[in-house]
């Protein structure tokens, strides 16, 4: 990589941020396409967020990914946001268009592309979504526009019910929300064609945990676990053993990153290059 006087800067802001896979993902893609861009991670404390956003404008930083704890707080410093951001109150990507800062959330489209690019079109399907946190909300917003039926189960039942009500109002679909009890998961899995785990259950170090008993899984089910550390979760292993189609969290990670890349550069993201970079990096960080 040659850095010149014309090199454009992108980056990720968060606290902590040293674990982020984004620098490996995006620098591999810039380098593969020979784009004159470079990507860095910036640890930004909450009290410095406003200064960081002024810095983005002042220095002409082309794009930023935004991670915890800034995803909601950053919105007040932007000039405009995509319509889904208004619903989600969360931004993971910022584009600097000649000083105009625009916020996007690419998690939902990342999940949709992860399904589609792995041969599963959720259009007209029955989906069971576990979780109603930040990622789950983004996925629910996108899938609600595609699916035949969506059931959202969450540890705090009210959060799932409110999310379902809001989506029903917006899209006029058959979406239900309720408590994430073992019996509710088992019952809803009998109908579901796609199961998405968007909780953090199974994430390192709790790698032996899953919300789904192995014998509730079936061969005609698609299971997407958005947890990507470890790359193969207990749920993914159990689903594979049951003969189900499994889509790993790395796929969503890749396609949400690809969407950010395309927003900043206008180029189609080189997915294979980004996948290799992500898996190499995860090999390094998985057990830490
Ligand atoms: P969050 O804190 O907003 O939400 C966490 C969710 O997990 C909530 O719904 C919570 O109720 C549920 N949960 C946690 N522990 C639980 C338990 N013991 N039983 C039942 N439910 C439980 O977090 P988030 O940002 O939505 O992230 C959730 C997971 O998704 C994390 O593991 C994160 O790394 C992963 N993630 C992956 C991608 C990707 O691109 N693959 C993107 C975003 C998040």
191 and 127 in one domain? yes
CATH of the domain at 13: 3.40.50.10860
- Ligand 1 centroid distance, CA of 202 (Å): 10
Question: What is the model's pLDDT at position 172?
Answer: 84
Which secondary-structure segment (H or E) carries 257?
helix 249-265
| Ligand 1 binding pocket includes 135 (Cβ within 6 Å) | yes
Residue 222: inside a domain, yes or no? yes
DSSP category for residue 39: E
| Ligand 1 binding pocket includes 154 (Cβ within 6 Å) | yes
**Cα separation of 217 and 111, whole Å?**
21
Catalytic residue among 71, 125, 137, 234: 71
Residue 270: inside a domain, yes or no? yes
Question: What is the model's pLDDT at position 288?
Answer: 42
211 and 81 in one domain? no
272 and 224 in one domain? no
Residue 264: inside a domain, yes or no? yes
217 and 270 in one domain? no
The sign of the dihedral angle between the CA atoms of 107, 108, 109, 115 is: positive
259 and 188 in one domain? no
195 and 115 in one domain? yes
| Ligand 1 binding pocket includes 72 (Cβ within 6 Å) | no
Positions in the chain whose pLDDT score sits under 70: 284-288
- Ligand 1 centroid distance, CA of 211 (Å): 12
Question: What is the model's pLDDT at position 240?
Answer: 98
- Ligand 1 centroid distance, CA of 111 (Å): 14
242 and 113 in one domain? yes
pTM: 0.95
- Contact (Cβ atoms closer than 8 angstroms) between residue 193 and residue 220: yes
Strand partners, 102: 80, 95
pLDDT of 32-72, one tens digit each?
A: 999 999 999 999 999 999 999 999 999 999 999 999 999 99
Atom of ligand 1 nearest to the CA of 136: 26
Question: What is the model's pLDDT at position 58?
Answer: 97
Residue 1: inside a domain, yes or no? no
116 and 229 in one domain? yes
170 and 48 in one domain? no
**Cα separation of 286 and 288, whole Å?**
6
The residue contributing the CA closest to ligand 1 atom 2 is 133
Give the tokens for residue 144.
């609600």
Mutate to test the pocket of ligand 1, among 140, 197, 200 (most ligand atoms within 8 A of CB): 200
- What is the span of the domain harbouring residue 68? 8-105+252-286
The sign of the dihedral angle between the CA atoms of 262, 265, 267, 271 is: negative
pLDDT of 179-192, one tens digit each?
A: 999 999 999 999 99
Domain total for the chain? Answer: 2
134 and 73 in one domain? no
Pairing label, strands 100-104, 93-97: antiparallel
Residue 158: inside a domain, yes or no? yes
Residue 48: inside a domain, yes or no? yes
**DSSP three-state, residue 229:** coil
Residue 2: inside a domain, yes or no? no
| Ligand 1 binding pocket includes 179 (Cβ within 6 Å) | no
**Cα separation of 204 and 7, whole Å?**
37
CATH of the domain at 155: 3.40.50.720
| Phi/psi at 38 (5° precision) | -140, 150
Give the tokens for residue 151.
């059931």
Atom of ligand 1 nearest to the CA of 253: 40
**DSSP three-state, residue 209:** coil
Residue 134: closest CA among 170, 163, 171: 163
**Cα separation of 63 and 51, whole Å?**
16
| Ligand 1 binding pocket includes 199 (Cβ within 6 Å) | yes
**DSSP three-state, residue 194:** strand
Give the tokens for residue 279.
């898996």
- Ligand 1 centroid distance, CA of 97 (Å): 32
149 and 46 in one domain? no
Atom of ligand 1 nearest to the CA of 209: 18
Q: Is 125 a catalytic residue?
A: no
97 and 30 in one domain? yes
């Amino acid at each position: 990589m040659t850095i010149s006087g014309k090199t454009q800067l992108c980056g990720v802001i968060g606290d902590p941020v040293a674990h982020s896979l984004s620098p490996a993902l995006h620098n591999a893609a810039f380098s593969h396409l020979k784009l004159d861009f470079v990507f860095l991670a910036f640890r930004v404390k909450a009290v410095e967020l406003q200064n960081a956003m002024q810095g983005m404008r002042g220095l002409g930083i082309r794009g930023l990914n935004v991670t915890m704890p800034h995803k909601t707080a950053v919105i007040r410093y932007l000039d405009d946001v995509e319509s889904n951001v208004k619903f989600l109150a969360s931004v993971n990507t910022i584009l600097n268009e000649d000083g105009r800062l625009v916020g996007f959330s690419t998690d939902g489209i990342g999940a949709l592309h992860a399904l589609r690019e792995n041969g599963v079109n959720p259009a007209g399907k029955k989906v069971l979504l576990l979780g109603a946190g930040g990622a789950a909300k983004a996925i629910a917003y996108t899938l609600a526009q595609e699916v035949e039926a969506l059931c959202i189960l969450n540890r705090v039942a009210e959060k799932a019910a409110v999310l379902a009500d809001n989506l029903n109002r917006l899209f006029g679909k058959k979406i239900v929300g309720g408590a994430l009890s073992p019996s509710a998961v088992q019952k809803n899995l009998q109908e579901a064609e796609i199961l998405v785990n968007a909780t953090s259950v199974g994430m390192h170090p709790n790698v032996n945990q899953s919300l789904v008993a192995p014998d509730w899984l079936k061969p005609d089910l698609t299971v997407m676990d958005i947890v990507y550390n470890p790359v193969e979760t207990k749920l993914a292993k159990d689903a594979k053993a049951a003969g189900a189609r499994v889509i790993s969290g790395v796929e969503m990670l890749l396609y949400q990153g690809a969407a950010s890349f395309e927003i900043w550069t206008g180029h189609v993201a080189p997915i294979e290059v980004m996948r290799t970079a992500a898996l190499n990096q995860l090999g390094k960080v998985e057990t830490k």
